[in-house]
Amino acid sequence: MDRGRRRRTNLAMLTVLTATFASGWFAFAAGSPVPAAITSITHGVLGLGLIALIPWKSVVIRTARPKHLGSFLLLSLVAIALLSGFVQVFLGYGMFAGLTPIQVHVGAALVLVPFLVVHVLSNRLRQAPRREDFSRRTLLRAGGLLAASGVGYVVAEGAGRLAGSRSADRRETGSHEVPAEEMPQTIWLTDEVPDLDRDTRVDVDGRSYTAVDLRTAASDPFVATLDCTNGWYARPSWRGAALADLIAAERRSTARSIVVTSVTGYTRAFPVGDAANLWLAFELEGAPLPAGHGGPIRLLAPGRRGFWWVKWVASVELSDTPWWLQLPFPPQ
């Protein structure tokens, strides 16, 4: 392999790996069907693009002169990320040695970042892109790689269905269905289930309610999809009151966001216009909301991923700060 090809292979690998990493986070953030389908299919196609580059990259690796331990660790972490991605897609949600495929997947992706940075910095001089790397020919090759990856994605989806794998029960986000009665109790990162009284009060824009008080403003039971980034979704029935029925329209008209905060400090801000589709729920599958699922009162945010569904709600406040001025994922 000549130097140019070697360099272009490495550049392609770096570009696709970076784009795969980024698209994974976008897929994590997407909750509604169209953005979720676009981001998770893009992520899958890019992941397969890494595999399509293996024949070239393996020549680069075999003929590399100094071989560094760090580079092999990087390679292993990419392999773990790829493998756990396929486990998630084809074997489904479940525990493997106490971890879910997505936990292994995102964990490997995060751990590989510093190895990738060192790998790129230590090779940056010899492998830096040159003008000839951006020729029409390179563009055609990149197009070919993308097309091959796209075909690979369709073949993998088809084969998964033919083989009767779990890949077929994914919704647009890639999450697998779990029966409502087996819905896991999930912590985003480090939060803990607090020990709350059934008549713990939630403060909503200056007024305070217990779960019993909320019944007066509550809907009939309805089904809402809880879709966790850990790779599962469930469609249980809930009962609760819409924030639009608890906070007067005049009050909302002067605010920009609604901040929902848990007794644990876990917090998320929402666009004020979402008030009709945000609910304070106190019942799950016809029974009082269990502590593990956020009882006595938790938020439902249909159309958003699970990490928005704040459990153990302590307060709901109007704010002048736009909702997007917050971390994209909760740090807790």
Ligand X SMILES: Nc1nc2c(c(=O)[nH]1)N[C@H]1C(S)=C(S)[C@@H](COP(=O)(O)O)O[C@H]1N2
Residue 186 as a binder of Mo ion (CB under 5 A): the answer is: yes
Residues in 244-303 that interact with ligand HEM by CB under 6 A: none
Give the integer Cα–Cα distance in Å for 179 and 212: 28
Q: 184: which DSSP letter?
A: P
Give the integer Cα–Cα distance in Å for 62 and 305: 43
Give the integer Cα–Cα distance in Å for 21 and 88: 16
Q: Which is nearer to Mo ion, 202 or 228 (CB)?
A: 228
Residue 12 as a binder of Mo ion (CB under 5 A): the answer is: no
Residue 306 as a binder of Mo ion (CB under 5 A): the answer is: yes
Looking at the DSSP bridge assignments, the partners of residue 150 are none
Residue 17 as a binder of ligand HEM (CB under 6 A): the answer is: yes
Q: Which stretch binds ligand HEM (CB under 6 A): 5-13, 86-94, 214-222, 248-256?
A: 86-94
Q: 195: which DSSP letter?
A: -
Q: Which stretch binds ligand HEM (CB under 6 A): 85-93, 143-151, 200-208, 277-285?
A: 85-93
Q: Is the peptide bond before 322 cis (omega within 30 degrees of 0)?
A: no
Residues in 23-82 that interact with ligand HEM by CB under 6 A: 24-25, 27-28, 40, 43-44, 47, 50, 78, 81-82
Q: Which is nearer to ligand HEM, 90 or 201 (CB)?
A: 90
Residue 298 zone, left/alpha/beta (φ > 0; ψ -120 to 50; rest): beta
Q: Contacting Mo ion (CB under 5 A), which of 228, 247, 299, 301?
A: 228
Which residues contribute to the site for ligand X (CB under 6 A)? Answer: 183-188, 191, 226, 228, 262, 264, 266, 293-294, 306-307, 309-312
Considering the complex, what minimum distance in angstroms separates the CB of residue 186 from ligand HEM? 15
Considering the complex, what minimum distance in angstroms separates the CB of residue 288 from ligand X? 13
SS3 147: helix
Residue 87 as a binder of ligand HEM (CB under 6 A): the answer is: no
Interacting partner of 82 out of Mo ion, ligand X, ligand HEM, none (Cβ under 5 to 8 A depending on kind): ligand HEM
Residues in 138-177 that interact with ligand HEM by CB under 6 A: 156, 170, 174
Give the integer Cα–Cα distance in Å for 299 and 316: 10
CB 298 within 8 A of CB 310: yes
- Nearest residue to ligand X, scored by beta-carbon proximity: 306
E strands along the chain, which residues?
176-177, 202-204, 207-209, 222-223, 226-228, 232-234, 237-242, 257-262, 267-271, 279-284, 287-288, 298-300, 313-319
Residue 262 as a binder of Mo ion (CB under 5 A): the answer is: no
How many Cα atoms sit within 13 Å of 105 on the Cβ side?
24
Q: 302: which DSSP letter?
A: T
Give the interface with Mo ion as residue ranges (CB under 5 A): 186, 228-229, 306
Give the interface with ligand HEM as residue ranges (CB under 6 A): 17, 20-21, 24-25, 27-28, 40, 43-44, 47, 50, 78, 81-82, 85-86, 88-89, 105-106, 109, 156, 170, 174
